[in-house]
Amino acid sequence: DAGITQSPRHKVTETGTPVTLRCHQTENHRYMYWYRQDPGHGLRLIHYSYGVKDTDKGEVSDGYSVSRSKTEDFLLTLESATSSQTSVYFCAISGGQYSNQPQHFGDGTRLSIL
């Protein structure tokens, strides 16, 4: 298994509170991604990173921000959580110099916003 750790694995919080999810990798891979998975939608890309401090938006980035201050850590922040952000969040990593390489996923974080 790829060395990817997501934390926390489960979280329940209230609408309007800030939430930060962490993805930690031990593979020294350049590319890291955040996806959300919802019934009927499959997996959708939120943000991705192509290096330290280099990030960009994905398909469903509204309401989310990210940061990558170290190669191994990629943080996803919900500044003010809403019930529509209840989902399972997966981090993925891929190696190589270029993107468009196989991606491997972490075990996910189940987030419930009440």
Partner 1 sequence: GENVEQHPSTLSVQEGDSAVIKCTYSDSASNYFPWYKQELGKRPQLIIDIRSNVGEKKDQRIAVTLNKTAKHFSLHITETQPEDSAVYFCAASYPGGGADGLTFGKGTHLIIQP
Which stretches of the chain bind partner 1, using CB under 8 A? 31, 33, 35, 40-45, 48, 50, 56-59, 90, 92, 98-108
C-beta closer to partner 1: residue 14 or 93:
93
User: Which is nearer to partner 1, 53 or 100 (by Cβ)?
Assistant: 100
Cβ-Cβ contacts under 8 Å for 46 (sequence gap 6 or more): 34, 35, 36, 58, 59, 60, 61, 64, 66, 76, 89
Minimal distance, residue 106 CB to partner 1, in Å: 6
**Nearer of residues 18 and 102 to partner 1, judged by Cβ:** 102
- In the complex, the smallest distance separating the C-beta of residue 66 from partner 1, rounded to whole angstroms, is 12
Minimum gap (Å) between residue 17 Cβ and partner 1: 25
Using alpha carbons, list the distances in angstroms from residue 37 to 27, 40, 112. 24, 9, 13
Distance CA 35, CA 12 (A): 19
CB 70 to partner 1: min, Å: 20
Radius of gyration for the alpha carbons in the chain, expressed in angstroms and rounded: 13
Q: What number of other Cβ atoms are within 10 A of residue 24's Cβ?
A: 17
Which is nearer to partner 1, 42 or 53 (by Cβ)? 42
